[in-house]
Chain A
Amino acid sequence: MESATVALGQAHEEHHGPPEANQSSRIDRQTLGILLFIVSEVMLFGAFFASYFFLRVVVDPPTWPPHPYELPVSVALINTCILVSSSFTIHYALESIRRGNRTGLKLGLVLTWLLGATFLFIQINEYVHLGFSARDLGFGSIFYSLTGLHGAHVFVGLVLLSFATIRAFRGHFGSEEKDHLGVEVPGIYWHFVDVMWIVVFLTVYVL
C-alpha cells in the first residue's frame, strides 16, 4: 500500500515538501500538466471553430467555399492519412519502450517525426498553391486561421518530438513508467494534435 502510513509515535516525524499523493488518484505531475494544457487548447480551438461555424451558418454565403475558391480535398486527405499514421508510430514507440525495446522506440520516434514534418511540408505547399490568402473574405481568414493554428501545434509537437528523439538516441528512457515520461507526454500531445486535425479536416474539407 503506497498511501501515507502513520503509526502512533511516528506521526510527527519531520517531513519536507507536500504530502504523498493519494494512491488511487495518483497521476504524475507531467501528465497532469499536459492534460490541463490540452484542456486549454481545446478551448482555444473551440473559439476558432465557433468563428468558422458563425461564418458558415449564420452569415450563410450562397456556396461554401464561396465562389470561386476551391479546396484541394484529395491532397488534404493524403495529408490526413500521413498524420493519422504518425499516431500509430508514436504509439509503437511507446509500446516498444514499455517492453524495453530501444530500437523500436528510436524507429517509432524517427518515423513519427518524419511523418509530422511531411504533413507540415505538404500543408505549406498547399498554402502556396491555393490561390487565395487570409485577406480574401472571411472564408480565407478562417481557413488560414484554423489550419494555421493546427500547423503551429504540429510544429510545437515536432520540437517536442525532436527532444525526445535526441534523448532516445543518447540512451535516455527506460521501460519503467517513470523512466519514459519524456516520450509519454509528447505522445499524449501528439495524439491531441492528430485528433484536432481530424476535426479540422472533417469541418473544413468534408462537411
Chain B
Amino acid sequence: MHNPLRSESDAFRWFVVILAGAASVGLLTALFRPLVGLIWAGVMIGIGIGMAYRSARGGLPTQVAVTRGGDGKHRLLVVANETVEGAALLDEIRDRCRDRRSEILVITPALPTSRASHWASDTDEATELARQRMELSLLAIRDLGLKAKGEIGDSDPNVAIEDALRVFAADEIVISTHPPQRSRWLERGVVDRAREQIDLPITHVVVDLSAEPAVR
C-alpha cells in the first residue's frame, strides 16, 4: 500500500477529477433539483474513496525483469526479516551454496512498526530494526564460511525482491517466513506472488523460531 498523493502532479490529477465530478453535480442540480445533485455527489465521493483505496493498494502483479550474471557464480537472493537468523534458513543457505562459487545477497524488508507509521512513511525505526537483524544474519552466514552482503528492502517483500533483482543477477531466491499460522507474509501471499511474477527457482523456508534455539 502506498500514499496516492505524493507530488503536485498527483494533486493536480485529483483536482481535475474533483472538478469534473463537481461540474456533473452542478449540472444535475441545475437540471433537476438539489437533492439529485446531493445524491450524485454522495455516489461520486464513494467512487472517489474506492479509487483512492485501489490506487493506494498498487497495481496487479506484473512480470519482474530479471538480470542474469553469466560469470559462473551462483547467486542466491535471500529474503527474510524476523526469521533471518533462523537455523532452518541458514541450513538452506549452506545447502544451496555447498561446493559452489557463490554470492549471497540478504534482503531484509523494513517492516513498518504500525499502520500509522507506514502511512506517514516513517520508516526510521523499521529500517533500524531490519538493519540490526541483517547484521546478525550476515555474521551467522560468515560463520558458515560463506560471504554475503545485505540490504534493507522495501516494506513490501515483493517490491523488495523486485528492487533487488534490478541490481543483483540472482540464480535462485530463498524466501524465509514464520510458520503459516503466524506468518503475515504468507497471509498476504508473498511467496505465491513472487512465484507468479519471477521466472526463477524460489524456495520457501519455514522458520519456527519458537522451536529452534537462537543462532546467536
- C-alpha spacing A201/B23, complex, angstroms: 11
Question: Which A17-48 residues have C-beta < 8 A from chain B?
Answer: 18-27, 31-32, 35-36
Interface string of B15-27 (1 = CB under 8 A from A): 1001100100110
| CB neighbours of A202 from chain B (8 A) | 22, 25-26, 37, 41
Let me know if A4 and B127 touch, CB within 8 A. Answer: yes
Number of B positions contacting A (CB below 8 A): 52
Number of A positions contacting B (CB below 8 A): 41
| CB neighbours of A18 from chain B (8 A) | 124
**Nearest chain-A residue to B141 (Cβ)?**
A8
Let me know if B127 and A19 touch, CB within 8 A. Answer: yes
Whether A32 touches B120, Cβ cut-off 8 Å, given contacts A8-B148, A24-B163, A25-B154, is: yes
- C-alpha spacing A112/B82, complex, angstroms: 51
Contact among B15, B37, B128, B131 for A206, CB-based, below 8 A: B37
| B residues with CB within 8 A of A | 2-3, 5-9, 11-12, 14-15, 18-19, 22, 25-26, 29-30, 34, 37-38, 41, 110, 118, 120-121, 123-124, 126-128, 131, 134-135, 138-139, 142, 147-156, 159, 163-164, 166-167
| A residues with CB within 8 A of B | 1, 3-8, 11, 18-27, 31-32, 35-36, 84, 87, 90-91, 94, 183-184, 187-188, 191-192, 194-195, 198-199, 201-202, 206-207
A selection of 22 A-B contacts at a CB cut-off of 8 Å is: A1-B167, A5-B149, A5-B150, A8-B149, A8-B150, A11-B138, A18-B124, A22-B152, A23-B163, A24-B154, A25-B154, A26-B121, A31-B7, A90-B8, A184-B7, A184-B8, A191-B12, A191-B14, A191-B15, A194-B15, A202-B41, A206-B26
Known contacts A24-B156, A91-B8; 13 additional CB pairs below 8 A are: A4-B127, A5-B150, A6-B134, A6-B152, A11-B138, A20-B127, A21-B123, A21-B127, A22-B153, A24-B159, A188-B7, A198-B22, A202-B41
